[in-house]
Amino acid sequence: MYVYDNLLGANGDGRFIPVGLAFGSMERCMLTMDEMLQSVGGEVTRVLPFHDFHLWEQFPSRAFEDGLHVAEISLAAGEPSRIERAAVAR
């Protein structure tokens, strides 16, 4: 999966769309995206499309002066956020 729109549709209508570069069978791509969504119980935020800038909105994140971002996807139990302590937050 390339971006959230692959799963959610361009207008949030839930229609799978093939955004991004794909190789092989488009049908297989669509079936794989459906399997991914089913494997996380339909919780889209548990699927990580690493090419989507919406990750910075879904998860705590930090932007740096050079334009790079870091998103805090998951922490071990009891671990404090590193993003919240950062001097420069989203």
Q: Of residues 27 and 38, which shows the higher confidence score? A: 38
What is the rounded CA–CA span in Å between residue 74 and residue 58?
Answer: 12
- Widest distance between CA atoms in the chain: 46
2 shares a domain with 43: yes
Residue 41 shares a structural domain with residue 77: no
The structure tokens 């705590």 sit at 60
One domain for residues 39 and 58: no
Residue burial 17-40, b: 16+ Cβ < 10 Å; e: rest: bebeeeeeeeeebeeebeeebeee
Q: What is the pTM for the complete model shown? A: 0.61
Q: Is the same domain home to 33 and 63? A: no
Please tell me whether residues 60 and 39 are part of one structural domain: no
CA gyration radius, the chain? 15
Distance (Å) of CA 36 to CA 21, 28, 51: 18, 12, 17
Number of domains within the chain: 2
Give residue 60's domain range.
Answer: 53-90
48-77 per-position pLDDT tens digit? 887 888 888 888 888 888 988 888 888 899
Instruction: Please tell me whether residues 69 and 83 are part of one structural domain.
Output: yes
